[in-house]
Every structure is written in C-alpha cells, then in structure tokens.
C-alpha cells in the first residue's frame, strides 16, 4: 500500500509551495524539489484534472504534451477520493484538519450518514440545506483563497459552482462556471488577459466521470485525455505570453474493477448484523461503525471470511500513524472515520444499500492505496 507523503511530497505540500510564492506560510512544508523562485511574481493557474493518475500518463500518455512537461509524481491524500483531496486543494490541508473523510460521511451532529459534497442524506437523498443546516455547521476550515490575500478565482462546472460545498470551500474566490472543455480554457484565458497577478484554481471533472462509467483503461477515457492534452497545449502558449505559470495535477488516480470484484454487504448477513450504521467512506476505503458487544464477531468475520479481500484496521490507529495527515486533528475526525477502516486489496470494492439510494454499477473506482490511485502527476509549464 502507498501511504501519502505529507512530509514533503503530497498535494498538500504543493499547496504550501503555492502559498509560499504569494508570501504566505503553512503548517505543512512546501513540496520537496519545487522551485518557488521560478513562479515568484507570476500568476499561478492550477488545473486539477479529477481522476488523472500518474500511472495513467505512464501507461497511455508517453508522447503527450503533459508527459513531456511532467516534473514529478506526488501523492494524493488518504482517502484518495474527491471529497478529501479536492478539499485539500481548496483549503491547503488534508482530512486531518478539514474533516471531510470521504464521499459518505457520518455526521454525528446530525445523526446521519451523508453524501457530504452534495450535502444530502445518504438514505432518502434529502437536502440538508433545505432542512435548515448550513454547510458551515459541519465544515469550519478556512479556504485557501481566503488566506491567500491576492485576487483569486475558482473555475468549476456550472452544475455545481453554486452548491453549498462550493460556496463554502471556495470562499474568498470569485467562482466562474464552465459548460464545456472549450469554455473551461476560455475562462482561464480571460483571467490572464491583464497583467495583475492572480491565483486560479480550475477544476475539470470530465475525466473522472468517464473513468467511473467506462473504466480508466477504456478507449473513451484515452480519447478524452488526448483532447485534454491538446487543449492544455494550446492554453500553455497563451499563458507563457502573460507572465503566468501553469501547474497541472489531480486529486487521485483510478483502478478498474469487474463484477467479480464487488463485495456486497447484503451477501454477508452475519457481518451486516454487527454494524450499527450503513457503511461510510468510499468503496475502497470503508468506515465501519460496530455495535457495542459485536466487536469480536466483527473482527473474526473480517479476518477469516473476508481476509483475502481487504485489510482491517482500527481507525484510531490509522489516525495515530498519520494516514489522514499530520498535526492536530479536526475535533470531530474520530467521529467521522468509524471504529474500523477497511482498505480493499487488489481491485476489490465493498458496497451496501440504503433506502432511497440509487445504485451505480461503476467500473472505475478510487479511494484505495494502490499506486494507481495514490500517485498523481505534477506538471509545471513555466
């Protein structure tokens, strides 16, 4: 398993380097080997391509523009999933501080397992905002933009740009929507048209969506990557004329799974009986809340029946070992990572069902600790 390198080699450390270039400081060290002098005084455009793993570029992008400008590989965070990693890009800190620990998060203060980015209950898909809950009631970390002290912008999909999560996580930035790949790069071009120094975070989610549906190794995804590569190459020529540096990375990579790789909780009723709540986290990094008095039964089942499918850890041990980050943890982190964490082996995933939830049979998955999921590219075009 590949553990995140929060010391000096993760996306969190990249954000510390960017903050340093604007005169700020962070508790996390800057990225090792990153030359801040080359970006000093320049507009910085950080493009995050959701789901673009370092291993994907090595496998399918050897002669591409992005590959030719690849400076290094860095790690994502744990879990290697959008809710935790994109929030790291938006705050400059990992789950250890920001407290969003996966797609499904048990919020003790609400007594429910939620889909934390859409800000809805997992069961029934009920809107928390429409029921009087403010996103700041469950998320208190200051945004990276607010702390930066320079004109800042966030470019995101028009579908989500005004979500409760986006308004909170990107506070301090002007949010600009896009509706296509062309409008995505056009928004960036508009922002760098003058000489004023800026910081721009531009988030592209199309690669991730196709990887989930078709699989990361599919021709559909490879074709999409080729279009991205071509568009970014054209954009880079304009950026060079505008005293701007372009940095490209990702929140996580992907691993493909087959129908035979799915562990359905419904097929393990004895295990299900030991659980107090639905599964939380993600399909490859799963948080389990165990009923009082059922701990031994839960552990025995995991270590015998499911021993070939996953690794079992007490969540507090992962916290102490620095899986979620360094330094003082979020006050509610322990509540949000369950009693146990299951990290899936090979290409296995674990799923359960709750009432009112639509089942998605995706091929591509992430959040685990394989090199394919954990390593992301660092591309720098000066």
pLDDT in tens, the chain (382 residues): 999 999 999 999 999 999 999 999 999 999 999 988 888 899 999 999 999 999 999 999 999 999 999 999 999 999 999 999 999 999 999 999 999 999 999 999 999 999 999 999 999 999 999 999 999 999 999 999 998 989 999 999 999 999 999 999 999 999 999 999 999 999 999 999 888 999 999 999 999 999 999 999 999 999 999 999 999 999 998 887 888 999 999 999 999 999 999 999 999 999 999 999 999 999 999 999 999 999 999 999 999 999 999 999 999 999 999 999 999 999 999 999 999 999 999 999 999 999 888 878 899 999 999 999 999 999 999 8
CA 160 – CA 189 distance, rounded (Å) = 21
State the pLDDT at residue 359.
Answer: 79
Parts of the chain belonging to CATH 3.30.1360.180: 259-357
Dist CA 19 CA 325 (whole Å): 18
Torsion of CA 324, 325, 328, 330, to 10 degrees: -40
Neighbours of 92 (CB within 10 A): 28
Task: Identify the burial level of 132 via C-beta atoms within 10 angstroms of its C-beta, where 0-12 means exposed, 13-18 middle and 19 or more buried.
Answer: exposed
In the chain, residues under CATH classification 3.40.720.10 are 11-256+370-381
Residue the block writes with tokens 């996306």: 11
As a whole number of angstroms, the distance between CA 88 and CA 51 comes to 15
pLDDT of residue 71: 96
C-alpha span between 274 and 294 (Å, rounded): 5
> Residue 199 region, left (φ>0) first, then alpha (ψ -120 to 50), else beta?
beta
pTM > 0.95:
yes
- Write the DSSP assignment of 168-225 as a string of letters: HHTTTSEEEEESSHHHHHHHHHHHTSSSS--EEEEEE-HHHHHHHHH-TTSHHHHHHH
How many residues does the structure list for the chain? 382
- Is residue 253 a contact partner of residue 339, using CB atoms and an 8 Å limit? no
pLDDT of residue 241: 81
CATH topology of domain 259-357: Gyrase A; domain 2 (3.30.1360)
**Residue 334 pLDDT:** 97
The helix (H) or strand (E) run that includes residue 304 is helix 295-304
Strand partners, 256: 364
Q: If you classify domain 11-256+370-381 with CATH, what class do you get? A: alpha beta
């Amino acid at each position: 398993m590949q553990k995140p390198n929060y010391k000096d080699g993760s996306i969190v450390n990249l954000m510390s380097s960017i903050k340093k270039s604007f005169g700020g400081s962070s508790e996390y060290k800057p990225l090792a080997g990153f030359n801040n002098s080359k970006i000093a005084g320049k507009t910085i455009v950080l493009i995050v391509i959701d789901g673009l793993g370092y291993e994907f570029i090595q496998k399918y992008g050897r002669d591409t523009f992005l590959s030719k400008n690849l400076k290094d590989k860095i790690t994502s965070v744990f879990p290697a999933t959008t809710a935790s990693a994109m929030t790291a890009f938006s705050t400059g800190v990992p789950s250890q501080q920001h407290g969003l620990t996966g797609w499904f998060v048990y919020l003790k203060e609400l007594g429910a397992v939620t889909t934390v980015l859409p800000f809805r209950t997992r069961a029934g898909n009920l809107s928390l905002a429409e029921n009087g809950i403010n996103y700041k009631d469950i998320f208190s970390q200051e945004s990276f933009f607010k702390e930066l002290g320079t004109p800042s912008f966030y470019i995101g999909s028009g579908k989500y740009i005004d979500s409760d999560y986006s308004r909170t996580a990107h506070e301090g930035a002007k949010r600009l929507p896009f509706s296509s790949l062309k409008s995505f790069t056009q928004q960036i071009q508009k922002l760098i048209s003058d000489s004023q120094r800026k910081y721009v975070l531009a988030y592209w989610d199309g690669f991730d969506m196709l990887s989930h549906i078709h699989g990361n190794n599919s021709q559909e995804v490879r074709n999409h990557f080729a279009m991205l590569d071509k568009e970014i190459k054209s954009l880079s020529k304009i950026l060079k004329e505008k005293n701007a540096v372009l940095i490209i990375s990702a929140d996580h990579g992907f691993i493909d799974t087959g129908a035979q790789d799915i562990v359905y909780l419904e097929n393990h009723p004895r295990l299900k009986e030991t659980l107090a709540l639905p599964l939380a986290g993600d399909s490859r990094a799963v948080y389990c809340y165990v009923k009082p008095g059922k701990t031994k039964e839960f552990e025995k089942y995991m270590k015998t029946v499911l021993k070939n499918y996953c690794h079992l850890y007490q969540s507090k041990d992962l916290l102490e070992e620095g899986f979620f980050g360094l330094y003082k943890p979020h006050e509610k982190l322990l509540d949000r990572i369950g009693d146990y964490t299951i990290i899936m082996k090979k290409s296995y995933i674990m799923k359960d069902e709750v009432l009112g939830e639509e089942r998605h049979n995706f091929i591509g998955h992430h959040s685990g600790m394989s090199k394919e999921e954990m390593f992301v590219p660092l591309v720098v075009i000066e």
